[in-house]
Amino acid sequence: MDRSAYTLAIERLNRLQSNAEYLRNAAFGKKSNSLERTNHFLRALGIEIEDLNRLMIIHVAGTKGKGSTCAFVESILRLNGYKTGFYSSPHLVAVRERIRINGEPISEDKFARHFHHVYNILEANKTNEFKMPGYFNFLTIMAFYVFLKENVDVAIMEVGIGGKLDCTNVVEKPIVTGVTSLDFDHCRLLGNTLTEIAQNKAGIFKQGVPALTVQQPEEAMFALKETAQEVNAPLYIVPPWSNYPDSSKIDLGIQGEAQKLNASLAVQLVNVWLSRVKYRNSKFITDSNEKCGFLDAITLGQNHFALGLSKTVWHGRCEIIRKGNITFFLDAAHTIDSMNNCRQWFSQQIERFTSTFDNISTDGTLPKIHRVFVFNCTGDRDPRPLLAKSAGTDFDLAIFTTNRLMNEKKIDSDHSNLTITENHEDEIRSNNARIWQELFPPVKSLQVECIRDCIEQIVSYSRLVQSPTLVL
């Protein structure tokens, strides 16, 4: 299939309503019928809900660490010889990243072929009640279709937003479910309290299906326990990373202190999955009068746990990219807690960076390091508390950009978001910059139109200062 088929697929996809529109609808109280719509269109593709059980699904919700946890899970299971399907969001470079087989995004050819087949059938079966699904909903349906066609041994499904009404929650009998760390995010949709957020995330719990979570704030944990008890789902809390006897010997493939908890959850999700699928062990589904149990740390040398964790690759999460005199430290912190973790990781990396200098000047001092902060905040998130946690006075320059890759929006670009106008994007960027100036007036700041302009500004700045430039 030629390039134009893929280009047309991206154009068609971009014309579908996206999560941004879904969030706006939710803010005005419009109820989602995404589960009914997903069921309708799956049936149009010849897929019954029972067919999804063949995918041996691991379903993961949460506020922070969903993608990282799923990436750890996928890596471990693939190294155990299983053919994996992995559905995640959002994407960084190409939308194909959202649907992976054996850890790799499906090819442009395969994406285009499956996309047009699914699109044409859905278009022919839309009704007044069930209009064409939106961007995320469509990709979810397509992912199920692809995973069934590819005959994967396991499908790792990351929830998009929330859990209870998320279209991935059409799954009725996953093998195991998981909830990562909970925090405040998408509050207009999920609620303004941790109780409401936890109840929504716990909407993926299913009767008789083991549900795993990390240690949560008391309010959130209580809500998870109550929901698990209501649906008769056995709930388990995973141990801290330090409890694993050989954890200190493992370098996780994803950096950052927060990844240790994600790694523990991933190990336990895989362990339960193997117990239920490979060994046909029912020990995790026995009824208990207790609201939840605690899982024991296991030896990571078995079942390729250690190797899978160390070989995990998840771009854009505590990732370091070096380009000449410039070092980029990439992370997608989107909550206050995440920003704290990001700042801590950045500080640790600066210490390691300076310890490698061999060009100490004659007076024994290290060369001046310049720090650049790059920021954008999308959706309904409040940028002020995030910026306040950035340790802004540690930076020499702050650059505020939009999410546009290039200044010109193209309908067939993987990065185009047609649900938000350029003027609105610019307003968000300007507001972010204004708040920064209120918080950290001494620090110089710039506003740019797009990510490409941002990179050009960083390169120019590094040439001007003629010293190592660290970009967060």
Question: Is there a binding annotation on residue 219?
Answer: no
| Of 310, 340, 359, the domain-final residue | 310
- Name the least confident of 125-129, 193-197, 282-286, 456-460: 282-286
Task: Tell me how many domains the chain contains.
Answer: 2
Query: Do 401 and 450 sit in the same domain of this protein?
Result: yes
91 is in an annotated binding site: no
Residue 247 in marked binding region:
no
Shared domain for 282 and 421, answered yes or no, is no
The residues near 188 (Cβ < 8 Å, ≥ 6 apart) are 23, 26, 27, 380
Q: Is 358 marked as a binding-site residue?
A: no
Whether 102 and 63 map to the same domain: the answer is: yes
pLDDT tens digits, one per residue of 419-431? 678 888 899 999 9
373 and 253 inside one domain: no
Torsion region of 208: left, alpha or beta (phi above 0 gives left; psi -120 to 50 gives alpha): left
Name the band, by pLDDT with cuts 50, 70 and 90, for residue 29: very low
Inform me whether the pLDDT recorded for 285 exceeds 60.
no
C-alpha 316/C-alpha 143 separation (Å) is: 22
**pLDDT of 19 higher than 70:** no
One domain, residues 306 and 332: no
- Tell the burial category of 408 from Cβ atoms under 10 Å away from its Cβ (0-12, 13-18, 19+): exposed
Based on the fold, state whether residues 96 and 243 are members of the same structural domain.
yes
Domain end, chosen from 310, 335, 367, is at 310
* Residue range 87-109, pLDDT digits in tens: 999 998 899 999 999 999 999 99
Whether 224 and 259 map to the same domain: the answer is: yes
Count of helices and strands (H, E) across the chain: 16, 15
The answer, yes or no, to whether the previous bond of 442 is cis (omega within 30 of 0) is no
355-379, pLDDT tens digit by residue? 765 555 545 556 789 999 999 987 6
Q: Are residues 412 and 286 in the same domain?
A: no
Q: Tell me, yes or no, whether 103 and 234 share the same domain.
A: yes
89 annotated as ligand-binding = yes
Instruction: Order the strands of the 370-375 sheet from edge to edge.
Output: 319-323, 326-330, 469-471, 370-375, 397-400, 444-447
Domain that includes residue 400, residue range:
319-471
Q: Which residue has the higher pLDDT, 129 or 33?
A: 129
Residues 352 and 306 reside in one and the same domain: no
Q: Are residues 150 and 188 in the same domain?
A: yes
Same domain, 352 and 208: no
Residue 206's CATH number: 3.40.1190.10
Give the end of a domain, one of 267, 292, 310: 310
User: Which CATH number fits the domain that encloses residue 388?
Assistant: 3.90.190.20
Distance CA 431, CA 412 (A): 29
Average pLDDT over residues 106-124: 97
Rounded average pLDDT over 265-272? 98
